[in-house]
Structure 1
Amino acid sequence: MAFLFFLLAAVAFTWPVVLRLHRAVPVDTGDPLLNAWIISWGSRTLFTAPTRLFQANIMYPARDVLAFSEHLFTMVVLTAPLYWVSGNPLLSYNLLLIGGLAFSGFGCYLLVRELTGSRWAALVGGFLFALGSYKFSQLSHLQIMFSPFLPFMLLYLLRYLEGGRKKDLLLFALFCLAQSLSSWHYLVFCFLAAGLLWLWRAAASRGGEEWRRLAGVLLALGAVLLVALPLALPYLRAHGRLPGFERNLTEIKGFSAHPADYLTALRGNLLYSRVSSLLPHGEIGEERVLFPGLAAFLLALLAVAGWARGRKRAPADPFRRGLPLFFLLLAAVSFLLTMGPEVAGRWNPLYMIPYHLGMLRFIRVPARFYVLFLLALAVLAGYGTAWALSRVGGRGGRFPAYRAWGAVLLALVALENVNLPVPMVEVPHGGGIPQAYRWLEKEEAVIIELPTLGLGEEHRYDRLLDFLPRDPHAYSELEGLRVYFSAYHRKRTVNGYSGYFPYSYNRIFYEMEAFPSLRCVELLQGLGVTHVVWHWDLVPPEREGEYRRRLLSTPGLRLAADLGGQWILEVEEGGVSRPDDLELEALVPEVVRPGEPFNLGLVVRNPTPLPTVVTEEEPQGFRLVITDGEGETVEEERGSFRPPFFLQAGEGAVLPLRCRKAPGKEGYYRLDLHLEEGIFGERRFSFTLGVREMPVSEEPSLLEGRVEYAGTAGVVRIPAPDGLFPLDFRVTAGGDTYLLAARESREEEIARPRGLVHLALRFEKEGPVWEEQRGTLPCDLPPGQSVLLPTLVRPPDTPGRYKLFVGLTDEGFRWFGEVLVL
């Protein structure tokens, strides 16, 4: 009966999800459809081609794409039979949503009943954990909402620690495994909760039998990690080869909770939306809507007060007697972890120590530790309810007053957590999906869907690109739909949406802003893309004629199907050159500062008449050896660089390298650069390297410089608006100051921009009309040195005649030196 209660409550409190199980998703088409796609992809591949599980069909040509998000393995296993029968990702998703809430409540009910012996207390605790407002703020994040096995894990761990039955140990391990494999967040949550309970029990253990049980728990947790390891390997591979794969502290701080967030209510809440002047409000999908309701807090306080007053009458077992304090500790630890790297502006060791040990580097949102806080609060509220009801009647619930007050407390908790109706978005399914995807089902194809929604200002396009849509929410909804439709056509697609965007994805779509330019077509040919799905509903009406002419006249494109709202364009095969055809030139500063790191670079150029596309993601290795005049090695180190991605005929690009330490004494040295086996094969370069003291651009003495256009005329003709276009400039350092090209990492450059010298570009037509852009110097420049700088610029999105101003800028100061006008 208890499970039926929670099932009906889950249906009621998620209304009207149950009416649209097969044809809609809650909130929006971003994360919900991404998770629906993950479930469908896993269901289709897990039992037919398990080795291909992580090689998903989106974000082509990236590898291990499923590792860019949560794998949802447990959910895949649970719903695979349903998906094979129905073929409907939406049905699987919505049943997991409702079923996960129902089992979360039932599991917490059993846990609280085990601890208090009160059914009413168990109903209150179970309701609060399963259907608290926080869960509804996470409606678009199934990987966080789905917590059914967490309370079961604690229940059987408690039973094993108290009774020592092997059956309970086995059930603890199974529930821990099931919850841990639902998402990596829950692996951390499970091990944190189980670890704290283990320590709590160890602190009160005296006999050998108790220590044997504790050893059994460690063995069970070790077994869980061993089983989870194969699923972790793709994430570790991606972490090893992809820049920015782990979460940096700047990003994490933006998603950390603040104490005031524990008073932030959901805007759609039936009760608290009516007292908007008293509490701040947040929307569904926001991460810091953490107010559990006044009743939950008050009942938890009653639990602590009841424990303090009833210690003498509590169970004789000190472990059982102290369990309310354990859940208070779990709540406190979870609270501090939600705060992230800092608590009230002070360093948070509870978060930062495991972060620096690598245990939390994959978690972007510390506020999600609130799941454990909510579980602890629910159990404490159950204790508080049991204590309050014991004041009015027996614990067995035989007296009318006991039942009445139990119903009142349950009703109060429920009233504070009514967030209805759940917003739903209708999604095409089955035979109702757009005709273009039905057409693709019959073809052997690699596709890209265009146009995308507009991309924002990145400013630097010649280094690692961040991905910045002008409207991130709208972009995620559009790409979420395209990911979802790929569950039907099942073709490899360049499009995608996930928790991580690889460089190849970012670069392709910034390039595609100029589609259908010849440069875009050559890139698609080099990638092996065979078809473009063109969506006319995303083209401004005033530009439809222009795009029709360009799509039908661009070499390399052929109209394969006119489906009304969509065109399908076939990309004709085109030749590409190989990476070992590329020319390489190493650029090193002629003079560097003693004992300091310095930047050098490789300029790679495509001398062939064909484009080059390199999809290799593995870092390429190099070795630097610095020797003195007597041939003695002064410094030797290894590093890596990222291969180039796309070069048209004649185009060049800079591949940055870094030496961590120059020789400490002034003088002249020999620097040898060895490229080890990789896409370029083995290559060697040798230079004379001077070392002496000089002012640096962080604290400049005299900043001077000159930029010259390396083309043949003062007019630059760019064949298509927007997108990316290569230009070459020659940069000469003047004055007496050493110009810094880069810092060790992108994060450090963001944190310490002062002193970095970049090429600066600005398009103008009667004033600035486009973003001010930056180009990265190929190496640090001492006074007097001149280098050729190939860079990528993003032209304005409207055709016309513009002035292009080009100069040098010190990010901490201003433009300096002579300014070139094209």
Structure 2
Amino acid sequence: MRTLRGNLLRHLGVLLFYTALTLAFTYPLVLHLSDSVLGGTGDNLYFAWLTGWYEHAFFDGGGHPYFSEWMNYPEGWNLSTTDTALAAVFPGALFSHFFGPIAGYNLAMMLTFVLSGWAMYCWVRHLTHSEGAALLAGVVFAFLPFRMAKLLIGHLNLAATQWFPLFFMGLTGILRNEARGWWQPAVLAAVSLGLIGFTSMYYLYMVLLVALVFVLAYLLFGGFSVLTKAAFWKQVGIFIILAVPLLYLSVQYFFNLAATGTITSRDWEYASMYSASPTDFFLPSTDHFLFGRWVGSHFNRDLWPEATLYIGLVTLVLIGYAVWRRKSTGSGPLVWAALTVALAAFILALGTDLHWNAERVMIAVPGFLQPLLGRSETPLFLPTYWLFNHLPFFDRMRALARFGLFTNLFTTLLAGLGAASVLQRLKGRWQMGAAAALIALALFDFYPGPYTEQLTKIEPRPLDAWLAAQPGDGAVAMFPFEQVQDQINIFANLMHGKPFIGGLFNAYQPPQYLNIRPTLDQFPTPQAIDLLRELEITYIVVDTTAYGDYPLVERELEGNGLIRLTEQGQYRVYGFGK
């Protein structure tokens, strides 16, 4: 009982430690949880809307978590066309029930930092029994520049990295055929994999590929004798029995959409634009409090939302030490397997063809080959190009740079192993001091400084207040029609409570949107007005600042039978006469 109580207190202390660091790294967000977001109005507002929708679906009994009749009116919106991120957003829905959707989103995002640090702490401590090394690894993983970039761009789904250390902790336990609690690694791996599936289809697909590389590498460097152990196959059986139904539940909607042609293949040249450069792994983030401005002025960081993949100087040094001490620590197979996976993910993140400083590298084609190829220069293709064209569903992915997260994951693991080797050579206060110094250096390496200038206050516009005051549930359309995908207009659905013709369709477009867009892009033509009448739109909102000669636009609207209902700032709202 004392041991259990001690372990619970230890883990509580670790969670509080990462909570305090999260508050510092995201400051001053803690002072504005319910009224502001970090990083402008972008995908953060989509996930804030999704937080509110899940609150409605789970706590108000008002709908299906994967389908919203509020959006893409009147057809409704299958949310599986973008990441539903149920495992990441659900905690936010719980918070939203008490504090509102903005606070729910912010708290869910902050929770990913705490849990990511704690999960990596658990993995490294399990492997090394070193408290200091585990705390360090958790700090590195929780506050990776990759994760800070996801905070600023608002990718709550991709910030939810907490399941990866737990999954690979379980998978490592299966491969090591750990004697104590032989069933626990399989359960941990299966449940974590299911949670990854309920977080992001990107992440699920990627982790399955990376796990295959990890298993093969571990067997290659550690020997295949584990395959002869009955306990190993029992764990594999438990893993399969638990993982398969969880994966089915998480991917069934995705496969249904793929079968109907809603989720389609992408062109490799389109995916190539979202490839990482080798330098992305070695450059500090552009939001680093000391070096960020210099990095931004000397390197092309236009792709920072996807290609902020800095490994960290402290991490690189500790990796070298882990490799050097691998034999004396008995961690050779794991070290080599982790290095193999980190390198494989590095190559995958570089995309279909090589880029340098965010620019495609082109090489000259020898003269005798130019007539055959029909060009004088060609991209330098990488192994990912073959996978993109041959591996099922690989070509559904857009941002291949996201594979870089797994380089970050396994380099962090190696840093933890290296730190454990350093600390075990020290005793008492020297060991504690060295651990504290390593943690401080890692924090310095990643610290972005206060995000005061990145705060964006979210509050109802006069337009939203007016719509909310109108009786009934008449549907809303925005013009120019491209604005139906603006996240601020998506989030406004929670503020005014009216069905909305739009949604976040930048990944895959639902059939209705594809059908009506050509006509509504020509608004205010008679055909567009007739289509709005057919769709039973009640409130036609026009952004007057988006049209050069607005009086002419208004005359066309009135000539087509619309009447002005109100003017709210830059927006005028029209309806159909009775």
The TM tier, using the shorter chain, reads: 0.7 to 0.9
Q: 2:37 aligns with which of 11, 25, 28?
A: 25
Q: 1:131 to 1:9 in 2, by over 3 A?
A: same
Residue 93 of structure 2 is aligned to residue 80 of structure 1: yes
Q: Distance in 1 between matches of 2:575 and 2:57?
A: 28
| AA at the equivalent of 2:21 | A
| AA at the equivalent of 1:420 | G
Of residues 158-167 and 419-428 in structure 1, the stretch that sits farther from structure 2 once superposed is: 158-167
**For 1:219-230, what aligned pairs fall within 5 Å after superposition?**
219-221=238-240, 223-230=242-249
Q: Secondary structure at the match of 1:491?
A: coil
Q: Secondary structure at the match of 1:80?
A: helix
Q: Distance in 2 between matches of 1:450 and 1:513?
A: 9
Is this contact kept in 2: 1:11–1:18, CA < 8 A? Answer: yes
| AA at the equivalent of 1:388 | V
**For 1:91-110, what aligned pairs fall within 5 Å after superposition?**
91-110=103-122
Q: Which residue of 1 aligns with 2:365?
A: none
Shift of 1:565: 4.9
Residue 354 of structure 2 is aligned to residue 329 of structure 1: no
Q: Which residue of 1 aligns with 2:25?
A: 13
| AA at the equivalent of 1:66 | L
Q: Distance in 2 between matches of 1:21 and 1:490?
A: 22
Q: 2:560 aligns with which of 531, 555, 559?
A: 555
Q: 1:37 to 1:111 in 2, by over 3 A?
A: same
Aligned residues between the structures = 532
Residue 428 of structure 2 is aligned to residue 413 of structure 1: no
**For 1:621-636, what aligned pairs fall within 5 Å after superposition?**
none
Q: Distance in 2 between matches of 1:264 and 1:229?
A: 39
Q: Which residue of 1 aligns with 2:6?
A: none
Q: Secondary structure at the match of 2:178?
A: helix
Q: Secondary structure at the match of 1:530?
A: strand
Higher share in helix: 2
Is this contact kept in 2: 1:43–1:76, CA < 8 A? Answer: no
Q: Which residue of 2 aligns with 1:171?
A: 188
Q: 1:314 aligns with which of 320, 329, 340?
A: 329
Q: Which residue of 2 aligns with 1:182?
A: 199
Q: Which residue of 2 aligns with 1:365?
A: 399
Shift of 1:85: 3.1
Q: 2:208 aligns with which of 191, 214, 226?
A: 191
Is this contact kept in 1: 2:280–2:307, CA < 8 A? Answer: yes
Of residues 51-60 and 146-155 in structure 1, the stretch that sits farther from structure 2 once superposed is: 51-60
| Offset from partner CA, 1:611-642 (integer Å, 9 cap, x none) | xxxxxxxxxxxxxxxxxxxxxxxxxxxxxxxx
Q: Secondary structure at the match of 1:531?
A: strand
TM-score, structure 1 as length reference: 0.60
Of residues 38-47 and 558-567 in structure 1, the stretch that sits farther from structure 2 once superposed is: 558-567
Shift of 1:303: 1.3
Q: Secondary structure at the match of 1:247?
A: coil
Q: Which residue of 2 aligns with 1:545?
A: 551
Q: Secondary structure at the match of 1:10?
A: helix
Q: Distance in 2 between matches of 1:207 and 1:234?
A: 37
Is this contact kept in 1: 2:187–2:238, CA < 8 A? Answer: no
Q: Which residue of 2 aligns with 1:570?
A: 575
Shift of 1:188: 2.4
Q: 1:327 to 1:272 in 2, by over 3 A?
A: same
Q: Distance in 2 between matches of 1:66 and 1:293?
A: 36
Q: Which residue of 1 aligns with 2:465?
A: 435
Is this contact kept in 2: 1:266–1:281, CA < 8 A? Answer: no
Q: Distance in 2 between matches of 1:59 and 1:262?
A: 39
Q: Distance in 2 between matches of 1:362 and 1:571?
A: 41
Q: Distance in 2 between matches of 1:220 and 1:77?
A: 25
Q: 1:480 to 1:301 in 2, by over 3 A?
A: same
Q: 1:449 to 1:275 in 2, by over 3 A?
A: closer
Q: 1:293 to 1:279 in 2, by over 3 A?
A: farther
Q: Which residue of 2 aligns with 1:599?
A: none
**For 1:165-564, what aligned pairs fall within 5 Å after superposition?**
165-200=182-217, 202-203=219-220, 204-206=223-225, 210-214=229-233, 216-217=235-236, 219-221=238-240, 223-242=242-261, 245-273=264-292, 275-276=294-295, 280=299, 282=301, 285-307=304-326, 311=327, 313-315=328-330, 321-342=332-353, 345-349=379-383, 352-353=386-387, 356-391=390-425, 393-394=426-427, 398=428, 400-422=429-451, 423-428=454-459, 434-440=464-470, 442-452=471-481, 479-498=486-505, 499-502=507-510, 504-505=512-513, 508-536=516-544, 538-539=546-547, 543-551=549-557, 553-563=558-568
**For 1:30-69, what aligned pairs fall within 5 Å after superposition?**
30-46=42-58, 48=61, 51=64, 53-60=66-73, 64-69=77-82
Q: Secondary structure at the match of 2:37?
A: strand
Is this contact kept in 2: 1:341–1:347, CA < 8 A? Answer: yes
Is this contact kept in 1: 2:114–2:142, CA < 8 A? Answer: yes
Q: Distance in 1 between matches of 2:141 and 2:351?
A: 22
Q: Secondary structure at the match of 2:307?
A: coil
Q: Distance in 1 between matches of 2:569 and 2:415?
A: 58
Of residues 556-565 and 144-153 in structure 1, the stretch that sits farther from structure 2 once superposed is: 556-565
Q: Secondary structure at the match of 2:575?
A: strand
Which structure ranks higher in relative contact order (CA pairs < 8 Å, sequence separation ≥ 6)? 2
Q: Distance in 2 between matches of 1:353 and 1:214?
A: 30
Q: 1:61 to 1:278 in 2, by over 3 A?
A: closer
Shift of 1:69: 0.9
Shift of 1:516: 2.8
Q: Distance in 2 between matches of 1:57 and 1:507?
A: 19
Is this contact kept in 2: 1:21–1:90, CA < 8 A? Answer: yes
Q: Distance in 1 between matches of 2:321 and 2:298?
A: 23
Q: Which residue of 2 aligns with 1:143?
A: 157
| AA at the equivalent of 2:264 | F
| Offset from partner CA, 1:351-383 (integer Å, 9 cap, x none) | 633752314233211110111111101111112
Shift of 1:406: 2.0
Q: Distance in 1 between matches of 2:424 and 2:226?
A: 34
Q: Distance in 2 between matches of 1:171 and 1:415?
A: 33
Give me the identity figure in percent.
22
TM-score, structure 2 as length reference: 0.83
Q: 1:71 aligns with which of 74, 84, 94?
A: 84
Q: 1:185 to 1:211 in 2, by over 3 A?
A: farther
Unaligned runs of 5+ residues in structure 1 are 454-474, 574-822
Shift of 1:165: 2.4
Q: Secondary structure at the match of 2:419?
A: helix
| AA at the equivalent of 1:379 | L
Q: Which residue of 1 aligns with 2:171?
A: 157
Q: 1:59 to 1:386 in 2, by over 3 A?
A: same
Q: 1:243 to 1:173 in 2, by over 3 A?
A: closer
Q: 1:375 to 1:56 in 2, by over 3 A?
A: farther
Q: 1:210 to 1:352 in 2, by over 3 A?
A: farther
Shift of 1:55: 4.1
Shift of 1:539: 4.9
Q: Distance in 2 between matches of 1:208 and 1:513?
A: 60
Is this contact kept in 1: 2:352–2:388, CA < 8 A? Answer: no
